[in-house]
Structure 1
Amino acid sequence: MTSSLFAASAADLTIERIRALAARPDQVESLTLEFKREYSLSLVKTIAAMANTYGGMILVGINDKAEPGVERVVGVDAQETIDKIASTCSEKLDPPWEPTFFPVPFDDDSGRSVVVIRVNPNVAPRPLLIDLKAPIRLSGQNSTADRDRLLKLAREETSAAMLPMGQNVMAPRLTQDSEGKATEDFIFRTGINLPMGDAGAWRPLSERSVLALAQALNDSPFPDALRALGHGSFQASTGFRQLGHNRSRTARLVFQAISVAPVQPVEAVVMVNLPEVYGPTSTALMATVTIDVIARVRRYADSIEAEQDYQYPVPNLADLLDGLLQTFVDPSVVTEIARIADIDMALVGQPRELHLVADQQVKNLLHHTGLREIPDAGASAGGIFRANPALDLRVLAERQEQVDDWLRQLGLDAGLTGMEDLVESYRAKTMPAARA
């Protein structure tokens, strides 16, 4: 799903953003997205199909195919189009139901607009019928629910099949040694929940698919981000490989630094957990993919008897967070996650939550260059960082905006000022290279 537009407020739905979406060569019609040049009866069928599946977005006023020399964003008369769609929904849908409409006007005097239609399955009266049939959405097209699918729709609990926009994950825990002391400096965790396809709900994990995911992770920006976090404490690593608790419905892929000290300065763990299925279920099955970044660079410095306590530079954390988010939207990684869950790639959501758990006050872990303590600000040993659902993390500028927001929150929660200026200074140095 194009989550940035789906979650954007009405004020943020601009014709510039829609034109940018339509111009993207990789943005084609999918399970949760459809383009329509103008009103048609098939458009209302698509509304019903999306409502009976995972929801989605229909953009009216856009040619469904990009052709050389042909303008893709053509627009429509917004009020006339909305009136026609609403009238047909009232006449043809059983029970009558309307999605949400957002007219987005052109930035000229043409009077034309693109009509954005959001279909939220959480509020639709499922099953939604048209001509006594229940349409469902397949990849880029509509089909009709068979008897089993129709019964599931009729029996499901409210919200059971909705793709969650809030990708909530459990907070991590620091491990402890035999004396009860933490063995890590801190852990970052993010992740996503995703629905399961019919085959993914019952079949065991494929060895090849797990190995393909490991390869995609190794080829992603993630290893470089982990090396940046390590700050020269290691020169080699194992790369992501299966290690530890792997089962028929659980995959555990681990990246480990190789250093001269007994302490591994950096480690990352990717967990894929498919739900266990025992008999029939009335609720939608959800899989979970989480990434833990485990940092021990401070402990590594202690083990080699460094002259002073190590503190993490903010730019290293910025590179880590950017690499972490970039990995979750990397096309190769998304492809392998979708294959494991047996779902359309459009249903692999973007991470919307980040957890930090530290073994001490965060302000003691950060390098204080450019930062100042707020008197009597109190202590913070971590926190939960929410993401802006209107940001598309596939876009560099929007991903960096999210990282910068998290860093600002990190500084303020730690009782420090100056993070905003520090982040702006860092971006001023790195953005020219990013644009090159």
Structure 2
Amino acid sequence: MNNSLFAASAADLTIERIRALAARPDQVESLTLEFKREYSKSMVKTIAAMANTYGGMILVGVNDKMEPGVERVVGVDAQEEIDKIASGCREKFDPPWEPTFIPVPFNDGTERSVVVIRVDANVAPRPLLIDLQAPIRLSGQNSIADRDRLLKLAREEPSAGVLPTGQHVMSPNLDRDQEGKPTADLILRTGINLSMGEASAWRPLSEKAVTALAQALNNSAFPDALHTLGNGSFSSFMGFRQHGYNRSRTARLVYRALSNSSVPHPVEAIVTVALPEVHGTSTAAPATVTIDVISRVRRYADTLDKVGVQGEEYRYPVANLLDLLEGILKTTVDPKVVAEIARITDIDPALVAQPRELHLVADRQVKELLYSSGLKEIPEAGASGGGVFRANPALNLRDIADRQEQVDDWLRQLGLDAGLTGMEAVIENYRASAQPRR
């Protein structure tokens, strides 16, 4: 589920965040999100349908349609609405169960609130029945599970529906030459894990779908972000295309900066989509999308020194890494990229998770990798060759301010783990001088 309000703590659920969500023209009702002006009897069926499918969230006190001149977030009497919904759940559900209710007050003296209903499919008793039927969600609407779907729900183990949503990305390794020495300066990795629709569990990857994903990546913020490495010194690039290990259920798309030096690809990005194999795999196994950025800019700069371009040993400016990370995150939430990933995995785009983990592995200590302007080494602070950076699940990476906050947090962690001070000031100065981004 890619809506950050579902993962936010109660303290982080504010009426400002709800208004910002409701104001988004692209934020429509989906498999995992509904807006309700007030309580209605159908709401109980929606809760059961979400519980029996992927979970979700209902915002009570928000008009379901955005209309000119009509306030969308209108609010309700929170306790009255919660009492009605809870009573309906107790009367209708078999077995008895209630979702989580979080009232979010307007704080304007009106005593009105928006009630956030969280339906966690991983803790709900499945199947959750109403009148001996199991409602489910299909394309933003409620339906009834057929016999096969009902049997699958009944046979689930207690944790069978739990899928990591953007977590637990495997740590990458730097490639090494025949002497065991790293062949790159660093590798960055992020990714997501996805549930799959029924069709993607058996069919091979579509060539058209893979080509469409490559095109979406080429038209995303990713290429410009990759250009920032090396300060845009590479004039030739090969766009994302299939290269290397590709199979019926694995697509590997590669983007490369090109040079005539002994380092032919100073910057390389690899996006790998892997569906679990049809045979010998648990039906609960997720599909994975992995994004790797491999940089050899330092090695490329060394080749320039050898042919007469003299200068200090190259180090990566913090601003370049900041732009790179922002570009990666922006790409993972790009609607066109998300739509193609959803098409490949046969799920609703609303179910494409946001990445919640980033890995960095360097060929040396991080403090030797970064341009030192504004940074100061802490005496005897120890060494760091990278790290694992977790994301704040309450941040919505589609929102530019949230995305910048996440990148800034990661860079602050990178600096502190490397035994450096001054990273906060470097980031603040860059943000103050940079052009506004969209």
TM-score (norm: length of structure 1): 0.97
Identical columns (%):
75
Classify the secondary structure of the residue corresponding to 1:35. strand
Q: Any idea what the Cα deviations from partners look like across 1:47-93, whole Å, max 9, x if unmatched?
A: 11111111010001111111222222121111011011111111100
Count of aligned pairs between the two proteins: 433
Q: Any idea what the Cα deviations from partners look like across 1:247-287, whole Å, max 9, x if unmatched?
A: 00000000011112120210000000001122794x52310
Q: Any idea what the Cα deviations from partners look like across 1:313-335, whole Å, max 9, x if unmatched?
A: 00000000000000000011001
Partners of 2:437 and 2:149 in 1: CA distance: 47
The answer on 1:321 being equivalent to 2:325 is yes
Structure 2 residues without counterparts, runs of 5 or longer: none
Classify the secondary structure of the residue corresponding to 2:142. strand
Partners of 2:346 and 2:111 in 1: CA distance: 43
Partners of 2:334 and 2:437 in 1: CA distance: 17
Contact 1:185 1:299 (8 Å CA) reproduced: yes
CA separation of 1:69/1:393 partners in 2, compared to 1, >3 Å: closer, same or farther?
A: same
Q: Which residue number in structure 1 is paired with residue 7 of structure 2?
A: 7
Classify the secondary structure of the residue corresponding to 1:158. coil
CA separation of 1:186/1:2 partners in 2, compared to 1, >3 Å: closer, same or farther?
A: closer
The answer on 1:84 being equivalent to 2:84 is yes
Q: Which residue number in structure 2 is paired with residue 265 of structure 1?
A: 266
Q: Which residue number in structure 2 is paired with residue 403 of structure 1?
A: 407
Q: Any idea what the Cα deviations from partners look like across 1:86-145, whole Å, max 9, x if unmatched?
A: 111111000000000001111322221110000001110111001110011112111111
Q: Give the C-alpha shift of residue 2 in structure 1.
A: 4.8
Q: Which residue number in structure 2 is paired with residue 417 of structure 1?
A: 421
Task: Find the partner of 1:360 among 346, 359, 364.
Answer: 364
CA separation of 1:141/1:162 partners in 2, compared to 1, >3 Å: closer, same or farther?
A: farther
Q: Give the C-alpha shift of residue 359 in structure 1.
A: 0.8
CA separation of 1:420/1:280 partners in 2, compared to 1, >3 Å: closer, same or farther?
A: closer
The answer on 1:335 being equivalent to 2:339 is yes
Classify the secondary structure of the residue corresponding to 2:424. helix
Q: Any idea what the Cα deviations from partners look like across 1:198-230, whole Å, max 9, x if unmatched?
A: 111111000010010000000001001101013
Contact 1:352 1:388 (8 Å CA) reproduced: yes
Amino acid at match of 2:188: F
Q: Give the C-alpha shift of residue 231 in structure 1.
A: 1.8
Q: Moved runs in structure 1, 4+ residues, more than 6 A?
A: none
Classify the secondary structure of the residue corresponding to 1:421. helix
The answer on 1:433 being equivalent to 2:429 is no
Amino acid at match of 1:433: P
Classify the secondary structure of the residue corresponding to 2:194. strand
Contact 2:166 2:354 (8 Å CA) reproduced: no
Partners of 2:130 and 2:89 in 1: CA distance: 9
The answer on 1:169 being equivalent to 2:169 is yes
Amino acid at match of 2:429: S
Q: Which residue number in structure 2 is paired with residue 120 of structure 1?
A: 120
Q: Any idea what the Cα deviations from partners look like across 1:277-319, whole Å, max 9, x if unmatched?
A: 22794x5231000100000001111122253211000000000
Partners of 1:408 and 1:425 in 2: CA distance: 14
Contact 2:338 2:352 (8 Å CA) reproduced: yes
Q: Which residue number in structure 2 is paired with residue 180 of structure 1?
A: 180
Contact 1:10 1:102 (8 Å CA) reproduced: yes
Partners of 1:76 and 1:196 in 2: CA distance: 37
Partners of 1:74 and 1:228 in 2: CA distance: 45
Q: Any idea what the Cα deviations from partners look like across 1:358-397, whole Å, max 9, x if unmatched?
A: 1111110000000000111111111000000000111111
Amino acid at match of 2:154: A
Amino acid at match of 1:147: R
CA separation of 1:9/1:213 partners in 2, compared to 1, >3 Å: closer, same or farther?
A: same
User: Which has the larger displacement, 48-57 or 152-161?
Assistant: 152-161
RMSD (CA atoms): 1.3
Amino acid at match of 1:311: R
Contact 2:367 2:418 (8 Å CA) reproduced: yes
Contact 1:233 1:259 (8 Å CA) reproduced: no
Q: Give the C-alpha shift of residue 165 in structure 1.
A: 3.9
Q: Give the C-alpha shift of residue 160 in structure 1.
A: 2.0
